[in-house]
């Protein structure tokens, strides 16, 4: 049996989870690497992951894995593969999200190696009321790369591999004779089982202003297909909007805004910098 590639899978509307996952992957240093971007993939068919070390990153919503992210990641189907779950939250708390993602990956056939929680700019953050603005920053990315190095060292140790193969070689492979689940034990991770209950979401969506000229960028960025163009301007199906605010952050004309009283509350109570938490 063998592990012969690194896989980076993520759901990341505003690129925070993607940034952390890629930095962690850099820490592994394995050249044979593939990405599975589930952000705007509306397909429902299974995605096979075989003989892989798979970093899986997702954003947190209310202390749990964002529901859309959980559904998309639920498409992964593992065969002889190790998972490294990472959750990214907006500086408040990730609560039960990491153990939820860990358990989801186990249910899909992965053997979980370790896990981590990182901070990313909150989707509700805006000028004047920033919430973890600009994160993950350079320090976070360095920490994620270090986490990847530590995770790889743990994997080699638990597989009993003394002489490390060249991770840049075309024929790279970690070989072993015993099933992964008999070799690898994940450390305890922060979170509760059963998980907290997520309350109902208030139907709400970003508002379009007069700057909109119908370029369609927001249509491409929306992870749920909630945005369309009508009469030369963008419009949003509120029932499909998850309030990820990718359309707000990436609009080239600043034509979308999202005003919610939660922004001020989050800015007031959760502006102090929080650091990544690693479980290796």
Residue 267 lies in a domain: no
Q: What is the pLDDT of residue 162?
A: 80
Question: Tokens 């930095």 appear where?
Answer: 23
Domain check: are 160 and 245 in the same one?
A: no
The residue behind tokens 């979308």 is: 256
Q: State whether 158 and 247 are in the same domain.
A: no
- pLDDT tens-digit readout, 55-68: 999 999 999 999 99
Beta bridge partners of 2: 175
Residue 242's domain comprises 207-259
The DSSP symbol for 126 reads: B
138: Cβ contacts below 8 Å, ≥ 6 apart:
none
CATH number at residue 92: 3.40.50.360
Same domain, 73 and 125: yes
Domains of the chain: total: 2
DSSP assignments along 1-58, one per residue: -EE-EEEEEE--TTSHHHHHHHHHHHHHT-SSEEEEE-SS----S-EEEESEEEEEEE
* Residue 204 pLDDT class (50, 70, 90 cuts): confident
Q: Which tens digits make up the pLDDT trace of 251-260?
A: 999 999 998 8
d(CA 14, CA 12): 6
Residues 230 and 129 grouped into a single domain: no
Mean pLDDT of the chain: 94
Shared domain for 74 and 124, answered yes or no, is: yes
Query: pTM, whole model, 2 decimals?
Result: 0.95
Q: Does 170 score more than 90 pLDDT?
A: no
pLDDT band at 89 (very low <50, low <70, confident <90, very high): very high
Section 29-53 average pLDDT: 95
pLDDT interval class at 232 (50, 70, 90): confident
Percent of the chain with pLDDT over 90: 85
At residue 199, the pLDDT reads 79
Per-residue pLDDT reduced to its tens digit, 179-195: 999 999 999 999 999 99
Residue burial 6-23, b: 16+ Cβ < 10 Å; e: rest: bbbbbbbbbbbbbbbbbb
């Amino acid at each position: 049996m063998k592990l012969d590639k690194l896989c980076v899978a993520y759901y990341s509307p505003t690129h925070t989870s993607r940034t952390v996952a890629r930095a962690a992957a850099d820490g592994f240093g394995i050249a044979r690497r593939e990405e599975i971007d589930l952000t705007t993939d509306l397909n429902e068919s299974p995605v096979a992951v075989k003989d892989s070390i798979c970093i899986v990153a997702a954003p947190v919503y209310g202390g749990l894995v964002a529901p859309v992210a959980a559904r998309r990641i639920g498409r992964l189907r593992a065969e002889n593969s190790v998972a490294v779950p990472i959750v990214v939250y907006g500086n408040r708390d990730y609560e039960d999200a990491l153990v939820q993602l860990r358990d989801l990956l186990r249910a899909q056939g992965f053997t979980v190696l370790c896990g981590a929680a990182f901070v990313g700019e909150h989707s509700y953050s805006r000028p004047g009321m920033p919430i973890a603005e600009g994160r993950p920053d350079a320090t976070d990315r360095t920490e994620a790369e270090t986490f990847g190095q530590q995770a790889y060292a743990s994997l080699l140790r638990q597989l009993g591999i003394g002489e490390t193969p060249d991770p840049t070689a075309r024929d790279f492979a970690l070989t072993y004779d015993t099933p992964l689940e008999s070799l690898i034990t994940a450390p305890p991770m922060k979170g509760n089982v059963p998980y907290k209950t997520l309350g109902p979401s208030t139907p709400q969506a970003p508002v379009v202003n007069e700057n909109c000229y119908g370029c369609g960028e927001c249509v491409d960025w929306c992870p749920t297909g909630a945005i369309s163009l009508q009469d030369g301007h963008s419009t949003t199906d509120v029932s499909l909007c998850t309030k990820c605010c990718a359309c707000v952050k990436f609009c080239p004309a600043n034509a979308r805004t999202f005003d919610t009283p939660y922004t001020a509350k989050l800015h007031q109570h959760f502006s102090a910098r929080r650091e990544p938490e690693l479980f290796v």
